[in-house]
Every structure is written in C-alpha cells, then in structure tokens.
Structure 1
Amino acid sequence: MTEQVLITGGAGFIGSHLARRFARDGHRVTVLDTLAPQVHGDDPATTSPLLRDVSEVATVIEGSVTSTDDLRGALKDATIVIHLAAETGTGQSMYEIDRYTTTNVGGTSKLLDLLANEEHSVRRIVIASSRSIYGEGAYRTEDGKVVYPGHRADADMASGDFDVHEPGEGTLTLIPTDESALLHPSSVYGITKQMQESLIMTVAPTIGIESTSVRYQNVYGPGQSLKNPYTGILSIFSTLIRQGKEINIFEDGEESRDFVYIDDVVEATYLAATHPDAVGEVFNVGSGVGTTVNEVVDALFAGLGREVPTRISGNYRLGDIRHNIADTTRMTRLLGFTPAVSFRDGVAAFAQWVLTEPVEQDSYQRSLDEMAKRNLLK
C-alpha cells in the first residue's frame, strides 16, 4: 500500500534520511520545515545540504507547525504523520523557554486540534520523543531495588561530585532504562518532549488515529549539522579537532550517553510508522550501550587522524544528566528490530564523512557564553 507521508521538521538530519527511506519503498513524501538558520544557514537553497538532499525525494513546504494554515496545507491527503518538528538543545531550552514551549507543545497542540476538528486522511501518527524525558534514568541500589534518582545538586557538582545519588542509599549501579521508567525530565527541552508525547498518545486514539512514540537516544551520523552548536558533541568536537582547538571536557569526562547511528534510527522509525504491532506502543530507540565523553574524544581522534589538546575542566551545565542507557528489548520483541551499527563502526563512518565537509565556523563557544551569562554553565 502506497502511503502519503508527512514529516514535520523533515528537512532536518533525521527527517531527510527518513524521507529517503519512505521514498525508496515507493511512498509519497511531503516535508514541512521552517528551514531555521541555526540548522540550514541564512540561505537554505545554497547553504543547506540537508535541504538539497530531501528535495530530491520529497515535496518541501517551508512553513511552521505553529501556523494552522501551514499545517492544514501540509496535511492534505496525508495518511501517516511523522512528527519530528521541535526546537532541540537541552542547554538552550533553559533560557529560550517560550520558543521551545511554543514550538514543541504549541505546534503539537495545533496539529492535534486540526485533526480533531477538520476532515483528513491520517490514520497513524508517530511522535519523535526523547531520552531526555527520563531525567537520570534507572539505577539499582546495593540491595537490588530499582530507583530513579532526582536531578544532581549544584552544590555537589561544584565540589567535583558528579555522581548520581539517592537519599538513604549507598552506591548506585547504572542499569538500562526501559519504557516503564519514571518520567522526570531535568530540562525545559525534556519537559516539552514529555508533553508532546503525552498529547499525541492521549489525544490521537480518541479521534480514531493510531499513535506510536519513539524515544530517541543520542542520534549521530553522516549528514548531521556541523554548524549547529546544539546538535551534539560528535559534531562539536569534530569541528574543534579540525580547527586545531582545545577540547574542554565537562565534568570528569566519564559522563556517558547511548549513541545510536542514523541508519538504525531511520529503520526503527519506519517500523514504528508501518508495523501493525507498533500501534499504541512507546519504544526506546538506542544502541543499548553507554559511551563516555572521554571515549568519544578518543574515537574521533582515531577517525579523523588528528589529535588536539584536551582539558578535563570540571565545568558542568545545569540540566545535564550523568548517564542514560536505553533498554531496547521492547522494540526487538514487538517489531523484530535490533540496532545493527556499533559505535566503533558508526563513528568511523561519521568521521570519514566529516573529512569531506568544509570546516564550519565555530559557534560552540558563543552557545557556552550564553549559558554562562545566565549562570547555567558553571
């Protein structure tokens, strides 16, 4: 069956790859995207490889999910909606609160309001959620209990204690976080992603639309923005390495993330949109493996064939988590999907792609200065 697929935010990193996946199977794809300068540059037609790429396989509509008229036009004949559109960036969300809330929560509300009150052909919505809704995620205590610790205290981190603690408990052991875990985000971004997911998963079934949520871990790979300072440490660090600049490693460098390669994310999202057993489900999309920041730096040095000075500074950002590793067994059990690309292989492919790209102007320090000015970076 040929679907008419609408991907909101579809000219971004994940959306452009996903559009190709749907087009490859013969589906028709429409993309709605604001083409924001932070991602696409000041003149997207000439400065955005992502836009050029997605334009080959999809109809691109420049517009916003915060506009009812833009949404109405993009939804015409759509049978599947992949809702990727969102402002992203944990740190930036802590001081651009209205923009994040307006786009992420307001845009999702407008989408559902249209579907609830006007005629349409949509039968399934997939919402792109985030590991950020878990906050610190799951840990096991010394006596075997599973706990979900609260946010780390500023005073602890200021003294160099970056570990996660639970009152009344001793040493905690990190364990993979499954989809039944407590949701307690530690940033405005995480709060808005939780609200997006809750809106879709609550409202869509009541208006006769199937719904599925995919909670992405740290997505990376060829094609991600190298100019957006909020896109992730792989892009940030690779740019610094190519510029020969020092890398400031926050905390002690032992904070870890679950990095998941773009091809795995695309396949997982495709299944969430098309598989009958995905209806009504929430899925973690990750590798299930934690990688520390120190390990990321070493992998990029190897992949790019160059090293620069590093400094473990003890700096930290309020709202950051220490660790989070996804339990991916639900997607394997219900959809038969297991991530295929290891971090070693994925970062090697990412690094080889980076070497073919122009060296971008460094805007990372400006983003740090913005946080420091607001006392969010210590």
Structure 2
Amino acid sequence: MTNVLVTGGAGFIGSHLVDELVDEGYDVTVVDNLTEQVHDGEPEYLNEEAEYVWGDVRDRELMTELLEDADVLNHQASAVGVGQSMYEIEEYVEVNTLATARLLDIIVNEEIELEKVVVASSMSIYGEGTYRCSEEDELRHPSLREEEQMKQGQWEHICPECGAELEPVATTESKPRESTSVYAISKKDQEELTLSVCRAYDIPAVALRYFNIFGSRQSLDNPYTGVCAIFSSRIKNDNPPLIFEDGEQTRDFIHVSDVARANRLAMESDASDVAVNIGTGSPVSINEIAETLIELYGKEDELSPEIANDFRQGDIRHCFADPSLAADELGFEAEVGFEQGMRELVEWGRKRDAEDRFEEAHAELEAKGLVGED
C-alpha cells in the first residue's frame, strides 16, 4: 500500500486531503505542529485511519525519519496570511521557504526515493490577475495600483495606453508572476524549490496553485485566514462584514473538497514538473460573499455588509483561474458549486463557536501602516 506523508495534515486543507486519501485506500501519515493561531488542541475531525505525528516540519531529524517511510510527499504545511506576513517576515520565510528547502535537502542528501511530490502553491504568486483592454483588444498584466489612485477611490485598473478601464479575464499559468507580499514570495519559493530540485533528481513533482479555498474546518477564530471564514465569524457574532474598497473586487472561490480531490489526482496522474491552477474559473465578488453568508445565516433583517472606506496595501483587484491546464494534466474540474459550498460552510459554522478578532487584526495592520483610507 502506498504511504503518503502529508505535512500540515491536521489543518483545513490537509485534513480534507487525509480523508480523501484514506477513502481511496492510501496509507496516510500526518505531521502537524498544531499551531495555536489555527488550532485549540487536537481537532475533533481527525481521521482515525491515519497515523498522526505531532511535530514541526522544520525538525530535520523527525522529517528524515518520516520521509524514509514515505512513498509520496504531499506538502501542505504553511504559514498563511497575506497581511500578517508583511510584519512577521522571518516567521513566514522560515515556515514556508526554509522548511521546504530542508525537506528537499533531506530527500537529496539522505537519498530518499519517492514516487511523487505534490506541493501546495498559491494564486497569490501572480499578484494581479490578467486583464484585457477592450479598446485595443490586447491582454494587460498590470502591477499594483498606485496609492494615490486608491486614496481617490479609483479601484479599477486603467489601460496605460488608451486610458480605458481594463476588463478582468481568466489567469493562465503563463501569466508573468509578480508576488506582492512576503506570503506570496514564500509560496513562490516553495513551488520553485520543489520543481527545480525534483526536476534535477528525476522525481515527479506537481505544484498546485490554489485559488481562494473555503469550506468546513476553516478556522473561524483566525482573523488572518480566508474571507469566508472572517465574514462567518463576524456574522455569527452579530457584527457586519467589513469590506475593503467597494466590495466589487473578485476572486475565484473553490471548495476544499475539490482541492482535496485535485491533490489526489495530482498524485495519481502522470503529470510532472508542472504547476497548475486549482480554481473554478468563475469570479465572485466580495460583496456577493458577504451577502450570501448573511442570507444563509438568516440575518438579512439584522445585518448588511459595511464598506470600511479604506484599503489594504498590496491588495489586488481581480484574479480568477483559467482551469484548463488542470483538466488537461490532472483530469481535474471543480464539482462543488458556489451556493452548494457556501451552504456546507454555514451548516458546519452553525455548530462552532467563533471569536470575532477582525478588529484586532485590522488594528494591527493599521499600526504597521498597511491600511490606507480613500
């Protein structure tokens, strides 16, 4: 039986992946350090069929021992949070970049024989998504918006050639990458280190560029996690979702069960030395997320989204996936629709206590000079 070592396998994505692999007959070993920002002790959803080792991926001795018994490495462990990464720089680089480098160093120098390596990458490495100028019918790859533009509340990108407003289009894997946060840089490091080293040593490897993942088991107490969980925590505590810019910025929201399946397909496919988008291809606005969650929690008469009249440094405007390469390379297509996935998240969220720490996190960003007002 194939033994899969899943780093970060007690977390949001990792635990769903463990369930997927166990259901498909794999022998699964998990290593996770149960970081306090995400976990309050051992989660109740852990799969009894998997083996759990509570330790840190930066522990060379531990990881050497675990890798020697593995056939496949699925590397999910990561420090997550764009804003927080901009002032906890050393922590993010150590947990993401250095830990991945150490795993690869062990594989190479201890001559670990692996059938496959799958690493979690991120859409954040693109920076802004892809746009089209309708006037000139050409693609554009803009950099971050200037602060002066943001202060004036001019949220959309403007074509530098003709001055027309740019139209967001699907982002392919060939888009030039412009990582705009420490988190994004560290995820790019994880992807490039893995593909480069595995290519040199003839180890099949796939990097999965996750778009915005949502679903059950997402930490509702962690104010640095995804927007669906942050809004859920606000709503459960009878507070309105606070929205940056005008709320019409869009992202590609993919359900965690689809992401788990994409990981399994990446392991089982012949794909190698490739990075692929894992998304739906369908953009959803932040306003739509807030309104949908308020409705599903049954609080339409009490709450409505609140525009915060500010913006975060480094935020992008639009980015959604072109998922065609994942279909070609992995045979993967997202199956869970937006409404279905949101209902699953809310059904799970109703049963959980949630501490709303958004204002605390927002104050930290303000103190670090990472929030501006229009």
Q: Distance in 1 between matches of 2:148 and 2:195?
A: 37
Query: What amino acid is the match of 2:113?
Result: S
Q: Give 1:130's match in structure 2, choosing from 111, 122, 135.
A: 122
Query: What amino acid is the match of 1:153?
Result: E
Residue 342 of structure 1: CA displacement?
Answer: 1.2
Contact 2:19 2:47 in 1 (8 A): no
Q: Distance in 2 between matches of 1:153 and 1:368?
A: 21
Q: Distance in 2 between matches of 1:64 and 1:188?
A: 21
Q: Give 2:334's match in structure 1, choosing from 308, 333, 339.
A: 339
Instruction: Identify unmatched segments of 5+ residues in structure 2.
Output: none
Query: What amino acid is the match of 2:276?
Result: F
Query: What amino acid is the match of 1:58?
Result: A
Aligned to 1:62: 54
Contact 2:119 2:194 in 1 (8 A): yes
Sort the Cα spacing of 1:193 and 1:352 in 2 relative to 1 into closer, same or farther, 3 A.
same
Secondary structure, aligned partner of 2:306: strand
Aligned to 2:14: 15
Residue 166 of structure 1: CA displacement?
Answer: 4.3
For residues 113-171 of structure 1, give each alpha carbon's deviation from its aligned partner in whole angstroms, at most 9, with x where no partner exists. Answer: 01110032312111100000000021112212212100111111111111123432422
Query: What amino acid is the match of 1:76?
Result: E
For residues 289-327 of structure 1, give each alpha carbon's deviation from its aligned partner in whole angstroms, at most 9, with x where no partner exists. Answer: 111111011111221111314321221111211110100
For residues 79-134 of structure 1, give each alpha carbon's deviation from its aligned partner in whole angstroms, at most 9, with x where no partner exists. Answer: 11111111110000111111001111100110110111003231211110000000
Matching of residue 283 in structure 1 with residue 282 in structure 2: no
Residue 35 of structure 1: CA displacement?
Answer: 0.6
Matching of residue 182 in structure 1 with residue 173 in structure 2: no
Runs of 4+ in 1 over 4 A off after TM superposition: none
Matching of residue 245 in structure 1 with residue 239 in structure 2: yes
Query: What amino acid is the match of 1:295?
Result: E
Q: Distance in 2 between matches of 1:336 and 1:87?
A: 29
Aligned to 1:33: 32
Query: What amino acid is the match of 1:238?
Result: S
Length-normalised TM-score, structure 2: 0.95
Q: Distance in 2 between matches of 1:335 and 1:192?
A: 25
Aligned to 1:294: 287
Secondary structure, aligned partner of 2:14: helix
What is the Cα-based RMSD across aligned positions, in Å? Answer: 1.3
Secondary structure, aligned partner of 1:75: helix
Contact 2:18 2:47 in 1 (8 A): no
How many residues are paired up?
368
Point out the structure with the larger helix share. Answer: 1
Residue 270 of structure 1: CA displacement?
Answer: 0.8
Aligned to 2:157: 164
Length-normalised TM-score, structure 1: 0.94
1:1-378 to 2 correspondence within 5 Å?
Answer: 2-41=1-40, 44-45=41-42, 49=43, 52-141=44-133, 142-169=135-162, 170-276=164-270, 278-307=271-300, 308-358=303-353, 360-378=354-372
Q: Distance in 2 between matches of 1:32 and 1:61?
A: 5
Instruction: Identify unmatched segments of 5+ residues in structure 1.
Output: none
Contact 2:107 2:113 in 1 (8 A): no
Residue 197 of structure 1: CA displacement?
Answer: 0.6
Residue 55 of structure 1: CA displacement?
Answer: 4.6
Query: What amino acid is the match of 1:272?
Result: A
Q: Distance in 2 between matches of 1:123 and 1:333?
A: 21
Please say which of residues 254-263 and 307-316 is displaced more in the overlay: 307-316
Q: Distance in 2 between matches of 1:310 and 1:342?
A: 23
Q: Distance in 2 between matches of 1:239 and 1:246?
A: 10
Secondary structure, aligned partner of 2:369: coil
Identity percentage of aligned residues: 38
Sort the Cα spacing of 1:175 and 1:309 in 2 relative to 1 into closer, same or farther, 3 A.
closer
